[in-house]
Amino acid sequence: MKLESSLKGILMKRVTKNNSVLTIIHVDMDAFFASIEQRDNPYYKGKPVVVGGSPDGRGVVSTASYEAREFGIHSAMPARQAKELCPFAIFIPTNMEKYKEVSNQIREIFKRYTDKIEPISIDEAFLDVMGDNAIEIAKAIKEDVRVEVNLTASVGISYNKFLAKLASDMKKPDGFTVITPEIAKKLLPTLPVRKLWGVGDKTEKELNRLGIFTVRDLLDYDREFLLERWGKRGYELLQFAHGIDNSTVENKQEAKSMGEEITLNKNTKDKEKLAIYIREFSSSLANRLNKKYLKCKTVTIKIKYDNFKLITRSKTLKQPICSCRELYSIGKNILNYRIPMKRPVRLVGMQVSNFIYPHEPVQLTFKDVVEDV
């Protein structure tokens, strides 16, 4: 089966060069974790399945099957609320190892059709087919995923990343949506501004306050005012509103570490001041880890003194962590006990590395610290 599909991939490459403007594909698996569980247990098929959180109401929902979504259950909802909405829903603990394996299997399928692949989460990726026939390739990918992985993917095809992602989301589940330049021109003005990249809760509220609800409202609004008020971001919003996105599909390596740092306005020897930055870094690193469903086992603090001498001190834990509280407690511990303060500090940074995909939530104690570098 695999060989056949690979061969199909190679043949496809030969016959489908058409240099159409439609060159970007966005693939997003449907109800990913829940679909895998339904695939692996026939009893779960067609039933409201909730992955993540426990039936006694602790934790949060990772995702819900489309049957469970009918009851209003969605990702990031407290499990307690999900239980209230659908008392007979089936709660399943997450099995990240299994999901990661499926994710790799899907990525192997993508590789048959192009080398330009940008994974953006465990179940989502952009592909640039570079002049090959994106429609034929997207059909083939969907089919390979269905036959070999026994799951459905929604795909979007367009002439840039923003529109391809918009497309993949339009007819979920099992969607196949093409946005040509003509379609984009008609479609975009009808959409709520929320659909534009970069518009989250806060910007949406601000735009609504100005009377801007749809992309058409935005396009009709005083351009100068928007640019003055939002600067570069305003410009980008207007670009998206016109269906323009010049970002390219990047073959990103999976990050081996993540870090935050700041050069201080004024050098300091005050650890309390540095701890405030560690607190901020912990919060943003926790967010970044959670977005990628990662936990880390190593936390590093980086300090540059006023003489430009750089030191790093790390702690490696037995149990992986990802919460702001845990990161802060380790970071602060390193700062307090391992960083000499003989000279003023000009830069402070924090890094997390040694990633693992979480299985079950783990409780951290300081006894878990096993190795100091």
Residues that bind ligand TTP (CB under 6 A): 28-33, 62-63, 75-76, 122-124, 172-173, 293
Question: Does 63 participate in binding Mg ion (rule CB under 5 A)?
Answer: no
Question: Does 123 participate in binding Mg ion (rule CB under 5 A)?
Answer: yes
Cα of 297 vs its chain's centroid, Å: 20
Residue-wise burial string across 326-345, b where 16 or more C-beta atoms lie within 10 A, e elsewhere: bbbbbbbbbbeebbeeeeeb
Question: Does 144 participate in binding Mg ion (rule CB under 5 A)?
Answer: no
37 burial type by CB count under 10 A (0-12 exposed, 13-18 middle, 19+ buried): buried
Of 37, 67, 118, 124, which is the active-site residue? 124
Q: What is the 3-state secondary structure (H, E, C) of 215-234?
A: HHHHHHCCHHHHHHHHHHHH
- Binding site partner of 110, from ligand TTP, Mg ion, none, Cβ cut-off 5-8 A by kind: none
- Binding site partner of 162, from ligand TTP, Mg ion, none, Cβ cut-off 5-8 A by kind: none
- In the bound complex, what is the minimum distance in angstroms from residue 32's beta carbon to Mg ion? 5
Question: Does 368 participate in binding Mg ion (rule CB under 5 A)?
Answer: no
3-class DSSP state of 185: helix
- Binding site partner of 76, from Mg ion, ligand TTP, none, Cβ cut-off 5-8 A by kind: ligand TTP
Question: Does 67 participate in binding Mg ion (rule CB under 5 A)?
Answer: no
Residue closer to ligand TTP, measured from CB, 4 or 97: 97
- In the bound complex, what is the minimum distance in angstroms from residue 93's beta carbon to Mg ion? 19
Count of residues engaged in binding Mg ion, rule: CB under 5 A: 4
Phi, psi of 327 (to 5 degrees): -60, -45
- In the bound complex, what is the minimum distance in angstroms from residue 52's beta carbon to ligand TTP? 6
**In the block, which residue shows the tokens 């640019």?**
227
25 burial type by CB count under 10 A (0-12 exposed, 13-18 middle, 19+ buried): buried
**In the block, which residue shows the tokens 């005050």?**
270
- In the bound complex, what is the minimum distance in angstroms from residue 120's beta carbon to ligand TTP? 10
- 22 and 165 in contact (C-beta within 8 Å)? no
Residue closer to ligand TTP, measured from CB, 90 or 345: 90
- In the bound complex, what is the minimum distance in angstroms from residue 219's beta carbon to ligand TTP? 28
Question: Does 122 participate in binding Mg ion (rule CB under 5 A)?
Answer: no
Cα 360 from Cα 340, distance rounded (Å): 36
- Binding site partner of 78, from ligand TTP, Mg ion, none, Cβ cut-off 5-8 A by kind: none
Name which of 62, 34, 28 is nearest 48 in CA terms.
Answer: 34
- Binding site partner of 62, from ligand TTP, Mg ion, none, Cβ cut-off 5-8 A by kind: ligand TTP
Residue closer to ligand TTP, measured from CB, 118 or 124: 124
* 146: its two tokens: 């269905």
Beta-bridge mates of residue 347 = 263, 304
Residue closer to ligand TTP, measured from CB, 20 or 152: 152
Number of H helices and E strands in the chain, helices first, is 13, 13
- In the bound complex, what is the minimum distance in angstroms from residue 352's beta carbon to ligand TTP? 19
**Stretch of residues binding Mg ion (CB under 5 A), selected from 92-100, 115-123, 289-297, 343-351:** 115-123
Q: Are strands 176-178 and 153-158 parallel, antiparallel or unpaired?
A: parallel
Residue closer to Mg ion, measured from CB, 63 or 351: 63
Cα of 304 vs its chain's centroid, Å: 31
Name which of 304, 311, 299 is nearest 263 in CA terms.
Answer: 304
Is 236 assigned a catalytic role? no
- 164 and 50 in contact (C-beta within 8 Å)? no
3-class DSSP state of 194: helix
- In the bound complex, what is the minimum distance in angstroms from residue 28's beta carbon to ligand TTP? 5
Here's the x/- map for Mg ion, 16-55, by CB under 5 A: it reads as ------------xx--x-----------------------
Residue closer to Mg ion, measured from CB, 175 or 234: 175
Residue closer to ligand TTP, measured from CB, 173 or 259: 173
**In the block, which residue shows the tokens 């790093």?**
312
- Binding site partner of 281, from Mg ion, ligand TTP, none, Cβ cut-off 5-8 A by kind: none
- Binding region for Mg ion (CB under 5 A): 28-29, 32, 123
Query: Which residues are known catalytic residues?
Result: 124
